[in-house]
Amino acid sequence: MAISSNLGYPRIGVDREWKKALEGFWAGKIDETTFTQQLQDIRLNHLRIQQAKGIDLLAVNDFSRYDHILDTAVMFGIVPKRFQYEGGIVPLSVYYGIARGTKEATASEMTKWFNTNYHYIVPELGGVEPQLTENQPLQAYREAKEKLGIEGKPVIVGPLTFLKLSKGFAANETDTWLDKLLPLYVQVLSELAAEGVQWVQIDEPILVTKLSVEDVERLKKVYATLTAAVPSLNIMLQTYFEAVENYQDIVSLPVKGIGLDLVHGQSGNLSHIRQYGFPSDKVLGAGVIDGRGIWRADLNEKLALLGELGELVTSDRLFVQPSCSLLHVPVSTARETKLAAELQGALAFANEKLDELVLLTKAITQEADAVREQLQAADKALKQLKDSAARNRRDVQEVVAAVAGQEPQRSKPFAERHADQQAQWRLPLFPTTTIGSFPQTAEVRKARQLWRKGEWSNEQYDAFIREEIDTWVKLQQEIGIDVLVHGEFERTDMVEFFGEKLEGFAFTQNGWVQSYGSRCVKPPVIYGDVAFAEPMTVAETVYAQSQTERPVKGMLTGPITIMNWSFVRDDIPREQVAYQLAFALRQEVESLEHAGIGMIQVDEPAVREGLPLKEADQAEYLAWAVKAFRITTCTVKETTQIHTHMCYCEFHDMIDSIEAMDADVISIETSRSHGELIHSFEENTYELGIGLGVYDIHSPRVPSVEEMEGMIDRALRVLNPKLFWINPDCGLKTRGSEETVASLRNMVAAAQLAREKY
Ligand code: GLN
Ligand code: ZN
């Protein structure tokens, strides 16, 4: 009979108790014994919740003290030399040292987990002899069994994915490394088999990316070795986030089960199943419930899908699963008390997704009648949102369709606009500017709190913000910056600020998800048609401009960044949501221009985050992302200067798209790419205004004039001096005031030196 099976549960807890435990421990508020106890309580509680929901097969070892890739690394004794680890179980202090850095040693790099907003710690293999330090999956299995009588399914990151995500070795050492790791995996699995474990879930999300011929051979070798070593253990080879490449190779592996994403990879995986069938000796892990989105499933549609699969595999070989671990969604909708009923009813977070899995399993294994009422309730809830006024803004849909039907284009090409803008603004060579935000000091945060709590009136709060603007406009003038900003003191977060003012957004009270380590984010929910309601940034910008003769840049977050950092409705294509956002933001751009603001920056730091995993889909995404930016910015006068800003990512393979955005000026983060960005401009000419950040804002250190001169010289070897701007890497909101002023003074001095030289 088909069973329900989970792939992983959120770690953070319904009250973010996991985050609190970690941070309490780091701050020295609780000792290691208490901390370990707290983590166990949380872990067991999460298993109890899943057990009570009636999930048949639960993942264990999905929990972590920080990150599951780091867990895998330390399980194999993979600790960078600089942490002076000498073998044995990796102490907690070393574990957190790798994750967060210590006084003596820098942390390991952190990077995005596939195309999610989760970040993992990159294992550094160089100079390390791996060894099994402790069998974590076995411990997790025993704990669940002894404490709760649960026959769990240990989860472990597969060898191929682990190696592919690691660094510190040359490509031609891959096989050597595989040969070192494989025996350790065998050992882990043998101990599990000896314990009587039935199923183990080996996560190999790397299989949804393009594999080389050598990698496919490695894949075959890995799973032949593992299954030969532990024939009694059932291996579920789990993939997610997209359709697998190499379907036929994968389903021919000698493992007991293959887990496929039938939501994000539906078209690819399903058509492969239809075309090639599914082997009769294997279990199909059918990932039918979206493990990444927050929406309630259309259960009838899911039942139809399961029905089709049921004709291909016998029911005892079907696991009903989420598409990926539920790590990527918030814990429960039960805690939301302030959402509109139509929205509340249409949401499903982790706990509700478990209910859906159980329900679907019941529906296909028992009389469908047993669950008819629940199916009807789900249907009704979805219909309510579908029919809601928020999703049926004819006004919005019509105008956005018309706008998107045209090619968004500035009135003149860059070369001509540039001349007009030079005549208008009379900026010096190498104009200096900043990215937008200035320090959000304790006073700024305090003021916002008082205002949010109602202890301060709007007038009081506005007056406070104006004072901050005054201070920083004066400071910028005095330092000698050419293009000023108001400082963004009124904003907590660059997406939330706009989401709260646009129509079509909702905000949850508890919709937190883990981003990295103990850091959680609460993305806004784009649930309806997005529309502009009233000007969002005009008052502060115009006020700042009234205090100075120099130009003040208006500051907006771009459509793609707002979308990529939100939970997005899935009833219409993301492209459409992007155009709605773009059109709404265009109205803000126009309001600013109308109010006399002649330079407007539209930030797009998160463009790359939405890049599809499949290479074949990337060009299309970039095309509509660029178009959305152009929709936002194309209607201004030729003399109005459009800026944009990007950070957090690699740009070298995106320069064509960045150019196509047609912004008059872009500022890009440079320091963290270690000069690689500059190389990419050797290969690609860039002929619009550009400022490569001349100092890293992630540290309180004040960079010297000479250092910044060096950065400028390097950049000018490949970029046109007439188009070059001088600015920091990113916004300054996390910095202190003193270091900010000192750094900017040095930056302006470096610009002056450059003007003399060039
Ligand atoms: N304008 C924003 C700021 O200065 C940009 C933030 C970002 O790039 N992440 O804070
Ligand atoms: Zn930035």
Work out the burial of residue 373: count CB atoms within 10 Å of its CB; fewer than 13 is exposed, 13-18 middle, 19 or more buried. exposed
Q: 675 falls in which pLDDT band (50, 70, 90)?
A: low
Q: Is the pLDDT of residue 579 over 90?
A: yes
Q: Is 603 a known ligand-binding residue?
A: yes
Q: Tell me: the pLDDT tens digits for 649-671?
A: 778 889 999 999 999 999 999 87
* Average of per-residue pLDDT across 278-299: 97
Q: 303 falls in which pLDDT band (50, 70, 90)?
A: very high
Work out the burial of residue 471: count CB atoms within 10 Å of its CB; fewer than 13 is exposed, 13-18 middle, 19 or more buried. middle
pLDDT of amino acid 677: 82
Q: Are 322 and 7 in contact (CB under 8 A)?
A: yes
Sign of CA dihedral 727, 731, 735, 737: positive
Nearest residue (CA) to ligand 1, atom 6: 731
Nearest-atom number in ligand 1 for the CA of 730 is: 8
Q: Tell me: the pLDDT tens digits for 503-516?
A: 999 999 999 999 99
Quote the ligand 1 centre to 565 CA distance (angstroms): 14
Q: Which of 28, 110, 38 is nearest to 73 (CA)?
A: 110
What element of type H or E holds 260?
A: strand 257-261
Q: Tell me: the pLDDT tens digits for 403-433?
A: 999 999 999 999 999 999 999 999 999 999 9
What element of type H or E holds 192?
A: helix 174-195
Which of 117, 472, 494 best tests ligand 1's pocket when mutated (most atoms within 8 Å of CB)?
A: 494
Tokens of 37: 């106890």
Q: Is the pLDDT of residue 637 over 90?
A: yes
Nearest-atom number in ligand 1 for the CA of 646 is: 8
* Average of per-residue pLDDT across 627-636: 98
Helices within 502-537 (DSSP H only): none
Q: Tell me: the pLDDT tens digits for 712-723?
A: 999 999 999 999
Q: What does the H/E/C string look like for 692-719?
A: ECCCCCCCCCCCCHHHHHHHHHHHHCCC
Q: What is the number of alpha carbons within 13 Å of residue 303 lying toward its C-beta?
A: 21
Q: Is 17 a known ligand-binding residue?
A: yes
CA distance 204 to 190: 19
CA distance 556 to 544: 15
DSSP state, residue 335: G
Tokens of 308: 């089709």
Q: Which ligand is nearest to the CA of 438?
A: 1
Quote the ligand 2 centre to 724 CA distance (angstroms): 18
Which of 603, 644, 672 best tests ligand 1's pocket when mutated (most atoms within 8 Å of CB)?
A: 603
DSSP state, residue 12: S
b/e per residue 438-466 (b: at least 16 CB within 10 A)? bbbeeebeebbeebeeeebeeeebbebbb
Q: Is the pLDDT of residue 391 over 90?
A: yes
Strands in 145-246 per DSSP E: 153-157, 199-203, 234-238
Quote the ligand 1 centre to 607 CA distance (angstroms): 13
Q: What does the H/E/C string look like for 562-617?
A: HHHCCEECCCCCHHHHHHHHHHHHHHHHHHHHHCCCCEEEEECCCHHHHCCCCHHH
Q: Which of 745, 670, 750 is nearest to 709 (CA)?
A: 750
Q: Tell me: the pLDDT tens digits for 237-275?
A: 999 999 999 999 999 999 999 999 999 988 899 999 999
Which pTM value belongs to this model?
Answer: 0.96
Residue positions annotated with a catalytic role: 698
Query: From residue 677, how far is each of 436, 534, 714 by CA, in Å?
Result: 22, 39, 11
CA distance 708 to 457: 43
Q: 523 falls in which pLDDT band (50, 70, 90)?
A: very high
Q: Are 666 and 696 in contact (CB under 8 A)?
A: no
Q: Are 120 and 69 in contact (CB under 8 A)?
A: yes
Q: Is 669 a known ligand-binding residue?
A: yes
